[in-house]
Structure formats: structure tokens, C-alpha cells
Amino acid sequence: MLRFLNSLFGRVMIALIIGIVVGALFPHFGQSLKPLGDGFLKLIKMVIGPIVFCVVVSGMASAGDLKKVGRVGLKAVIYFEIMTTLALVIGAVLAWVTRPGVGMNIDLHSLDAASLTTYTEHAKSLKDTAGFLLKIIPDTAMDAFAKGDILQVLVFSVLFGAALSLLGNKAQRVTGLIDELSHVFFRIMAFIIKLAPLGVLGAIAFTTGQYGVASLKQLGLLVVVFYASCFLFVFVVLGVVMRLAGFSIFKLVRYLREELSIVLGTASSDAVLPQIMRKLEWMGVKDSTVGLVIPTGYSFNLDGFSIYLTLAVIFIAQATNTPLSLHDLIVVVLVSLVTSKGAHGIPGSAIVILAATLSAIPAIPVLGLVLILPVDWFVGIARAVTNLIGNCVATVVVAVWEKDIDRARAKRVLDQDADFLFVPAPANTNVHTQETAHAL
């Protein structure tokens, strides 16, 4: 019990329970705690851009061979597209089979269009492939960091890392400086992550206070179907993928339990991005692979979001009695393959991308998005958790594909061997050589 209370996972779970109790008994006070959750996420986002830059650049510089970097990137993108397509199909099939929106008979004239104004404005730039491609190119290098757009930061980081790799010894001092800076930013992240229980407390207390305890149990068949879809995808689809790679999805989830508990409370996978990267490196995955696959996956491999995208689109069609043909369903999946890639880094991303998807499919009314606004935060929890697990699995698979993983070490870490328990390494220590960090 003492070990549980002293662990980050234990403190987060206790904060989660306290937040629910506070929000239920003192709803107004619970809502006033919202700045705790918002502040925690802002602190995390403050350092994500620099961390991604340092990790990607250092990884590419250490890899040396740009052909290998390109090969890893290509394999990652191929894997992302396969899994994203599968997730989109699963969402569409389950929506078609369970029919969560049938019987609602919503009259579009009764919906408040004003609540969608902000989201539809953001969606205008995502209607076509050209718009998306232009969006990933930052106006300036500093603008990418200022906006915190991970995909734009990644584009600049890849170019910077490629330049350093080609310069070789001429840029050795710059490479060393960036590597040292990465240790500094990870140490800052270690400070921030200790505030996770407060962030979770504030986020869950606000949500419970605003929507009530009943909202945490069930918000309709749509939410139930989505959570079931995510469970099926993680433990069946990703479970099979992990088994083919030679590992267990259950052991991986157990290994990531602290990070998943933070995502559970904040509904944001951004909050644990740096920590996830360190834990995958500790597990035995080469840092250059982690540094390329994880940041790219945050924009290109959104499995949970992909499931929700087709599920929500078909739900809206059913709720508004809009007939859909097989052709329409295929169009939904194909359009979603493009629009889902722009989900990260946009305020209210799920609603924005849904608006962009629906605007490309005239048969389904965009105004139907108003129906799912009240449940967006709750489905966002499962979205974020599924996205995170999906990206971790992707990193392991690509590492196995490239032989960039120490299998023996990975198995011992996932088996929770006492000699390989993860403890954040000191800032001047290489994570791969710190074999006995648990004793510090």
C-alpha cells in the first residue's frame, strides 16, 4: 500500500477519486478548480516543442545514415496508414451495426448553429489535401514553436537534423549542445510531471461539477459503443500486432499505467509525450526510432480519433435520418483518411476535423455536430488513451521491423524485472547505460 501511495500512479488515482467526490458534493467549487487542469496542460505544452526538436535532431544526428532515417520514416508512415484505415473501418462497421443514432429523429431547425461557429472556422483550411499540406509548413521556424504545432515542429526538426547529419564533424558542437539541451528540457518535464495529481484533480473536479456524477457513468449509446470500439481495437487488433512483434499488449499497458492514468484524468496525450519517449527508450528501443516515430504518430497515427471520426459521422447521419449508401460510407472513410491527419494541435480538434469531414460530404448536415458537443470531453478520454497506446505499439513494431530494439531488455522491462524498473535518469546520464537506476 505504501508503495502505491508513493508512486505517481497511486497519487494520480487518489487525485482522480478526490476530484470526483469534490465535483459531486461541491459542484461550484469543483468548477472553480478548472485552472489547475488547464495550468498543468499549459506547462506541458510549454516544453513539448523544444523536447520534440531536441529528440528528433539528436536521433537523426546519432543515426548518421540519412537513408536509415528515411527508411524508418517510410515504414512508420506505411504502418500508420494501415492502422488508421483499419480504425476508420472499425468505427464505420460498429456504427452501422449498433445504429446508436437511430430513433433520435433530430430536427435540424431545433439545433443551435451558433455553438459551431468557432469550429467551422478552423475547419475551412482542412477541406482539401493542399490545405493540409500547406498547414504543416510553418510560416517561420519560430512560429512553429510559438503555436506549439508538433507537426510543424517535426518538419523543421527533420530538416535541421538532416543538415547536421550531412555536416558531420563540422556541426559536432551544435549536435552536442542540442543533446545537452534535451537533458535540461527532460529535467524540466520531471518537475512538471510531479504536478500531475493536481492537474488531474482540477480537470476531473471541473467535469464532475459541471456535468454531474451521472455523466461519468453513461452519456448514451454513442459513448458506450465508442468505448467498446476502443477496447476492441487495443486488446484485439493491437494485441495481435504486439503478439506478432513478440510482446504482450497487456504488459505494455501495465508498463505505461502511470502515463495512462494522467491521460485518463486530463483527456490529453500531450501531457505525457516526453515521458512516453523516455520510457520507450528505457525499454530498449533506439532513441532515433523513438524520436522519429512518436512525434510523427501524434499527427499521423490517431487510432482512437479515427474510430471516433467515422462513428460520429454515421451517428449524426442516423440521428438526423440522413440515408447513407455503401458509396457514402466509402467516401466517409476515404475523406477521413485525409482529414484525420490534421487533428493534432487544433483547438477542439475532434469537432474541427468532424466539421471538415462533413463539409466534404454534402449529404450529411454539418449542423448535426451540435449533438455531440456535450459528450466530446468524455469520448476524448478514450480517444487520447487509444491514440497513446497505438503510437507506443507503432514504435515497438517499427523498431522490431528495423531491428532497433533490444528484445532481451524489452522483455525484462515489461516483465517488471527488479533490475530494470524505470526511474527517470539524472540529466547527465544516458538512459541506455543506466542499468541500475532503481537503486538511486
3-class DSSP state of 148: coil
**Sign for the pseudo-dihedral over CA of 154, 159, 165, 169:** negative
Specify whether the CB–CB gap between 295 and 416 falls below 8 A: no
Which residue blocks in 65-218 are alpha helix, DSSP H?
Answer: 66-98, 117-123, 129-135, 141-147, 150-167, 172-193, 196-211, 214-217
Output the pLDDT for position 389: 95
Selection from 414, 415, 412, 435 nearest residue 423 by Cα: 435
CATH topology of domain 2-416: Proton glutamate symport protein (1.10.3860)
Output the pLDDT for position 54: 83
Specify whether the CB–CB gap between 337 and 357 falls below 8 A: no
Helix (H) or strand (E) holding 195: none
pTM value is 0.70
Which residue type occupies 159? L
3-class DSSP state of 128: coil
Specify whether the CB–CB gap between 119 and 355 falls below 8 A: yes
Output the pLDDT for position 101: 78
What is the spatial distance between Cα 222 and Cα 214, in angstroms, rounded to a whole number?
16
Task: Sketch the domain layout of the chain as residue ranges.
Answer: 2-416
Give Cα 383 distance to the centre of its chain: 8
Give Cα 239 distance to the centre of its chain: 18
pLDDT along the chain (440 residues), means of 10: 70 84 87 85 79 78 68 86 90 87 67 50 53 74 80 82 82 85 82 82 78 52 88 95 95 92 80 85 89 81 87 85 78 72 54 67 71 72 90 94 92 81 51 36
Output the pLDDT for position 426: 42
Give, as one character, the DSSP assignment of residue 435: T
Output the pLDDT for position 337: 74
3-class DSSP state of 378: helix
Specify whether the CB–CB gap between 324 and 102 falls below 8 A: no
Cell matching residue 284: 530498449
